[in-house]
Amino acid sequence: MSRLLTALAAVVLLLLPAPPPAAAAPAGYQVGAGIGDITAAPAEVGMLGYADPAQTTAGLASRLRARAFVIADGAGQRVAFVTAEIDFVTQAVQVEVLKRLRARYGTTYTDQNVVLTATHTHSAPGGFTEYTLYNLTTLGFEAPVFEATVAGIVRAVDAAHAGLAPGTVKIAEGTLTGANVNRSIEPFLANPAADRAKFPNAVDTRMTVLRFEQAGRPIGLLNFFATHGTSMTQFNHLISADNKGYAAHLIEDASGGGFVAAFAQTNAGDMSPNLRNGGAQGPTDNEFENTRIIGKLQADKAKQLFDGATEVLSGPIAARSRYVDFSAVQVAGAYTPDGQAHRTCPGALGQNFTAGAEDGPGPDIVDEGDLSTNPLLLVAGIVVNPTPAAVRACQAPKDVFLGTGSQNPPWTPQVMPLQVLRIGQLALTTAPGEFTIVAGQRVREAVAAQLAGVVTHQVLAGYANAYAGYVTTPEEYDLQHYEGAATHFGRYTQSAYAQELAGIAAALRDGQATPSAVQPPALPQNRISVRPGVVLDSPPLGKSFGSVLTQPAASYPRGADVRVDFVTGHPNNNLHTEGTYLEVQRQAGSAWQTVATDSQWQTIYRWKREYLGVSTAQITWTVPADAAAGTYRIVHHGDAKSLTGAIRPFTGTSRTFTVTP
């Protein structure tokens, strides 16, 4: 009987009209690229990265930028990827950026498909988080820094969105040596031999480049490579985009304008650009030269891969994200070294966190890897930031200094954003931490296991969408060097990331939703600053704003440094967003032509408070090797604040000088 029914059904199906073919999604992608100025507070604001309250801003070595890329497929799915020249992205920044994008574009850009990452420069102003720990050394929240960061990121996305046009994305992969070393070699060596074998010389040399084109014309480059933003040292007071910013500058400057080059991070937790003494010193004794050396290495290799890129990304675009409370993740044995189930802990920092890293050492209180209890730090932690006994036990063998996750509200974030995105045959995994190379590799492998047969390329983008310290493997964690002591959620932090990201990858593969059971808290009560704002600017007796105190010499050869000092106002009065504090001008007939601004790396703007409201601006221009001979001058644009609070612009101009062949 069943055979008869089957036969009848087959006949009926044959007689029915064929269904219309499914509408195919339009082929190809739309791509766009954009850039936004995020420079803020060039004077008297704490810098973020080295955790030194004495490291405050005092001028510009370079402006800071946010660079955005938008990729959309024919089915209406899209991804927006942003890399910003800051130390790390904070949850407050992510929330506000998404809020402003929602006001502009509705549900086009959400926490599912927007990625905000940081280059991890340690020479940018801080104070743009709502979490207490990260605002301690900057002496609180800095509203102008927060606003400049958010607004610049949004402008970059706006520009990328507005510039969307049919195009292609090509991918190329290679290796770069000589641009990083492992600054935490002992913990690396604690990993199993199979893990270590994946990284000869204990470094991650992998580089991935995405080439963006419209109608065959290149419009952008997105690079991924692991090296810290610490070429500029903790003694620097000039805002600098560090080595990755210099790499971006080289590519963009050579393009002649309109091209966007972004240099993003991967698992750089133990990767240092300081090639001598295990990460303690740069390749030379000059931090500016070190920045150029490591930046140029990245730029040159990226350009080589970019020029040779032929593989076109094609296929669906998809994105999945979820917020996870990392204070209590139950981790299955499949993701732990001993095959047993474990759990993460409320956030805490160990005593060895205070030792700092090789390229940013802390005070001489404890040494990395010292597992003995320091009574001074124990008492200090108990007084300032008490930690329950259960958390101390959970965090073992970490000797807890600060129980940041046990406070109300917590001093560091606990609810973390995780993402897996697909762009054709590329999987882009994002996480809010500094992964060591082995920790990052384990996460990559966990995600790859879920996406086998779906993608053939994978990138892990760290420092993404929020920040919760380092991520070490359990084996590295046990040694409690700086990175392990700064792994917030205990011994199984890396295992939890691998498990949770693998789950998101599986959902993306299967077309399932990834709803979040938790959301990051809003902490507006923590937006407090103890730094006074600008009160008054005043010129010295007998001078006016813009007066030249040090004039240039009569002439300079190429390669020389031209210096001019001006009477100025406080630069925080006006950030000159998308503008400049200075111009180097060359005479062209009866007109003056601008040949350099503070956006170029050949200029340096130094600010100094002389006394009370009197301050000076020192502008230095290194004459390029290809500078045209002729007559030049340097112009300074400043702003001064009066007792009434009024801010008025002024301009100062040096006498002319010549550049000789």
Residues identified as active-site: 272
Asked whether the beta carbons of 344 and 496 are under 8 A apart, the reply is yes
Residue whose entry in the numeric block shows the structure tokens 């002729």: 630
- CA 79: distance to chain centroid? 18
Query: Sign of the C-alpha dihedral, residues 481, 482, 487, 493?
Result: negative
Element (DSSP H or E) covering residue 262: strand 260-264
439 backbone φψ class: left, alpha, beta (φ>0; ψ -120 to 50) = alpha
- CA 496: distance to chain centroid? 23
- The Cα-based distances of 624 to 245, 259, 602 in angstroms read 19, 22, 7
CA separation for the pair 648, 639 (Å, rounded): 5
Residue of 326, 543, 552, 568 whose CA lies nearest to 431: 326
216 backbone φψ class: left, alpha, beta (φ>0; ψ -120 to 50) = left
303, two tokens: 């350009």
In the 8-state DSSP scheme, what is residue 363? Answer: -
Q: What's phi and psi for 287, nearest 5 deg?
A: -65, -30
Start-to-end CA distance of the chain, whole Å, equals 100
CA separation for the pair 10, 12 (Å, rounded): 5
559 backbone φψ class: left, alpha, beta (φ>0; ψ -120 to 50) = left
Asked whether the beta carbons of 601 and 242 are under 8 A apart, the reply is no
CA separation for the pair 29, 72 (Å, rounded): 5
- CA 292: distance to chain centroid? 18
| Secondary structure (H, E, C), 161-189 | HHCCEEEEEEEEEEECCCCCEECCHHHHH
CA separation for the pair 354, 368 (Å, rounded): 9
The Cβ of residue 275 has, within 10 Å, a number of other Cβ atoms equal to 19
Question: Percent helix, strand, coil in the chain (nearest 5)?
Answer: 30, 30, 40
- CA 407: distance to chain centroid? 27
CA separation for the pair 38, 149 (Å, rounded): 5
Asked whether the beta carbons of 456 and 423 are under 8 A apart, the reply is no
Asked whether the beta carbons of 234 and 121 are under 8 A apart, the reply is no
DSSP, collapsed to helix, strand or coil, labels residue 119 as coil
Element (DSSP H or E) covering residue 14: helix 2-15
DSSP, collapsed to helix, strand or coil, labels residue 358 as coil
Beta-bridged to residue 1, according to DSSP, are none
Q: What's phi and psi for 11, nearest 5 deg?
A: -65, -45
236 backbone φψ class: left, alpha, beta (φ>0; ψ -120 to 50) = beta
Element (DSSP H or E) covering residue 499: helix 493-510
